[in-house]
Amino acid sequence: MSEITPGLWELVFKGLWITVQLTVFSAALGAVVALVIGLARTHRLWIVRFLSGAYFEIFRGTSALVFMFLVFFALPLGFGWQLVPMWAAVLAMGLTYGAYGSEIVRGAVAAVSPAQREAGIALSFTPAQSLRKVILPQAWPEMVPPLNNLLIELLKGTALVSILGVNDITFAGSLVRNATGESAPIYTVILVMYFVLAFVMTRGMRLLERQAKAGIGQAPPKRRKLSLRQTNDLAASGVSGGTGGAA
Amino acid sequence: MSADSTPTNPNAGGSKETANPTVDGSELIRFDKVTKRFGSNTVLDELDFKVDSGKHVTLIGPSGSGKTTILRLLMTLMKPDEGTIKVGGEYLTHEERGGKLVPAGDKHIREVRKNIGMVFQQFNLFPNMKVLRNITEAPVHVLGLSKDEADERARELLDLVGLGDRCDAYPTQLSGGQQQRVAIARALAMRPQVLLLDEVTSALDPELVAGVLDVLRDIAHSTDITMLCVTHEMNFARDISDQVLMFDSGRIIESGSPEKIFGDPDHERTREFLSAVL
């Protein structure tokens, strides 16, 4: 039984930094994939829908870990070059979690009222303008909470890369365990670290959600009273005596 | 007052003029044998009619008779199954290529569509934009107006609809009547030749209807914009219309001046309908 030495702590904090990087890079790739695949799945051309749907089903139905192995071990055999484990991991995680994310994007875009698209047509927007100015800004607040869940899944999923030998915190944890001969202290520390990371991300996403809601004229969900419609409207007086807000 | 349509009028004994000049200068909208079906249900049945520039035409009739479909076809929210529509002498959903009429590309449709504006039953303002940007977005990004120019035009229009002080509100912060008035301003900001009004007061609380109709009356009387209006507000229809078209089962069964249609309609079906709604 021995102490966790400063040298070992350094290993853990380096691992923490690697985990953060893995999460950020995978999330960035995943976000791009989610947006592209998610929108492609609502495309009017069936071939685009078919291909993007196939991508989604394949990545949803396969294991990120096995895919990571495939990228890391099989690519060199086939093509004669090998990705650094870190990038193999980012690629595998980004493509997989991007596929999950595409479902969130697709759902949120589909949930925007068709009437909004019609209003865009009536103003002669191109489909791209309509998407950028009208549809996506309204779909975004709907996406944030489920994307937050996915992001936390992704964070915890990064632990898989320790199997490839990437020195993230989980990997560092196993090194420390070997050095000290004790599991409980170091793995407790690492659990707490994951929790803190997840908590910080959740707070960040809350902020994002609040901002997104304010951006479509929905007040922050602080003072949520029992009124269905906002009738506390100054200029309503310009119309007639009292607007009939349901009591 | 105009008799500028070629309705299928059973009472007239099929005395439909067939030798119409293709373009008579002031003709703005023309439907030629337009048919629209939803499944086995024929909503419009070889409909012919035309509207002259500057006229205000009201479409009345029981629900499901095809009135709203006409507006949606004009706005290209749907395409006709058969027949052609012309706006300002241009085919709306078709193009002439090599002497043949082919379905038009998106670009052509967008170009012709710029002449048409629409106000919807449910307002359909963009909730992610404040009032002013709702109005300026299309003039800036579709017509290519400068930001300042678009802002100025939007403020004038908001004054016109009585909401000059609400530029910075989000649509959700406005009452239904206010939202609809912003929607009218938004449509007008594109300077369309034709304004389509699709039951614009049907979703409003009764006490908010008058404000919206006043704005529309004002526009009808002070501009030369052509209006096609689907409404259940018969008094409003009587006030602003040059011509009233009575629809039933996808056909125009009667058309005429508001005095004629509301006062002494020829057709039994029109009489029935009016006595039910008035």
Output the domain CATH number for residue A185. Answer: 1.10.3720.10
Is pLDDT at B146 greater than 50 in this prediction? yes
8-state DSSP, A80: S
Q: How many domains does chain A fold into?
A: 1
Which of A65-74, A75-84, B60-69, B99-108 is predicted least confidently? Answer: A75-84
Q: Is residue A194 part of a domain?
A: yes
**pLDDT: which is higher, A239 or B177:** B177
Q: Is residue A56 part of a domain?
A: yes
- Calculate ∠ Cα A113-A116-A119, nearest 5°: 150
User: Closest chain B residue to A216 measured between Cα atoms?
Assistant: B128
Residue A218 confidence (pLDDT): 74
Task: Collect contacts of A77-85 with beta carbons under 8 A, ≥24 apart.
Answer: A85/A161, A85/A164, A85/A165, A85/A166
Residue B18 confidence (pLDDT): 36
Extract the tokens encoding B65: 């008779």
Residue B58 confidence (pLDDT): 95
Using 50, 70 and 90 to split pLDDT, how confident is the model at B22?
very low
Residue B177 confidence (pLDDT): 93
Q: Which residues of B touch A134 (CB under 8 A)?
A: 126, 128
Is pLDDT at B21 greater than 70 in this prediction? no
Is pLDDT at B168 greater than 50 in this prediction? yes
- ipTM over cut 0.90: no
Is pLDDT at B9 greater than 70 in this prediction? no
pTM over 0.95: no
Mean pLDDT, chain A, rounded, equals: 85
Lateral strand order in the sheet of B90-91: B41-52, B27-38, B82-87, B90-91
Q: Which tens digit of pLDDT belongs to each residue from B70-108?
A: 999 999 999 999 999 999 888 998 888 888 888 888 889
Using 50, 70 and 90 to split pLDDT, how confident is the model at B1?
very low
Q: In sequence order, what are the residues at sequence separation of 6 or more whose Cβ sits closer than 8 angstroms to the Cβ of residue B214? A: none
Question: If interface means Cβ-Cβ distance under 8 Å, which residues of chain A face chain B?
Answer: 113, 115-116, 118-119, 121-127, 129, 133-134, 137-138, 215-218, 230-231, 233, 235-236, 238-240, 243-244
The number of beta carbons lying within 10 Å of the beta carbon of residue B220 is: 20
Q: Is residue A79 part of a domain?
A: yes
Tell me the C-alpha distance between B189 and B38, whole Å. Answer: 33
B181 CB within 8 Å of a chain A CB:
no
- The number of residues making up chain B comes to 278
Residue A2 confidence (pLDDT): 65
Tell me the C-alpha distance between A101 and A34, whole Å. Answer: 5
Distances (CA, A) of B247 to A134, B68, B163, B226, B239: 35, 11, 35, 20, 19
Q: Is residue A191 part of a domain?
A: yes
Q: How many CA atoms lie within 13 A of B27 on its CB side?
A: 18
Is pLDDT at A219 greater than 90 in this prediction? no
Look at A134 and B126 and tell me if their CB atoms are within 8 Å: yes
**pLDDT: which is higher, B11 or B212:** B212
Residue A242 confidence (pLDDT): 37
Q: Is residue A244 part of a domain?
A: no
Q: Is residue A242 part of a domain?
A: no
Residue A230 confidence (pLDDT): 45
Domain extent at residue A114:
6-220
Mean pLDDT, residues A112-130:
94
The number of beta carbons lying within 10 Å of the beta carbon of residue B59 is: 27
Mean pLDDT, residues B2-7:
44
Using 50, 70 and 90 to split pLDDT, how confident is the model at A232?
very low
Residue A82 confidence (pLDDT): 72
Q: Smallest CA–CA separation between A204 and chain B, in Å?
A: 21
Q: Which tens digit of pLDDT belongs to each residue from B222-243?
A: 889 999 999 988 989 998 999 9
Q: Is residue A198 part of a domain?
A: yes
Which of B128, B162, B187 is opposite residue A215, by nearest beta carbon? Answer: B128
Q: How many CA atoms lie within 13 A of A112 on its CB side?
A: 31
Q: Is residue A87 part of a domain?
A: yes
8-state DSSP, A24: H
Residue B128 confidence (pLDDT): 92
B125 CB within 8 Å of a chain A CB:
yes
Distances (CA, A) of A64 to A157, B33, B214: 9, 58, 63
- Please answer whether residues B145 and B139 qualify as being in contact, where contact means their C-beta atoms are separated by less than 8 angstroms: yes
**pLDDT: which is higher, A220 or A30:** A30
Which of B124, B142, B172 is opposite residue A124, by nearest beta carbon? Answer: B142
For residue B72, which phi and psi values (nearest 5 degrees)? -70, -35
User: Closest chain B residue to A136 measured between Cα atoms?
Assistant: B128
Using 50, 70 and 90 to split pLDDT, how confident is the model at A247?
very low
Is pLDDT at B40 greater than 60 in this prediction? yes
Q: Smallest CA–CA separation between A98 and chain B, in Å?
A: 26
Look at A239 and B76 and tell me if their CB atoms are within 8 Å: no
Nearest to A60 by CA among A109, A106, A91, A97: A97
Mean pLDDT, residues B191-195:
94
Q: Which tens digit of pLDDT belongs to each residue from A144-203?
A: 999 999 999 999 999 988 888 888 999 999 999 988 888 888 999 999 999 999 999 999
Residue B55 confidence (pLDDT): 93
- Please answer whether residues B91 and B104 qualify as being in contact, where contact means their C-beta atoms are separated by less than 8 angstroms: yes
Tell me the C-alpha distance between A4 and B276, whole Å. Answer: 88
Residue B71 confidence (pLDDT): 95
Look at B138 and A123 and tell me if their CB atoms are within 8 Å: yes
Tell me the C-alpha distance between A114 and A121, whole Å. Answer: 11
Q: Which tens digit of pLDDT belongs to each residue from A46-71?
A: 999 999 999 999 998 888 888 888 88
Nearest to B3 by CA among B246, B245, B270: B245
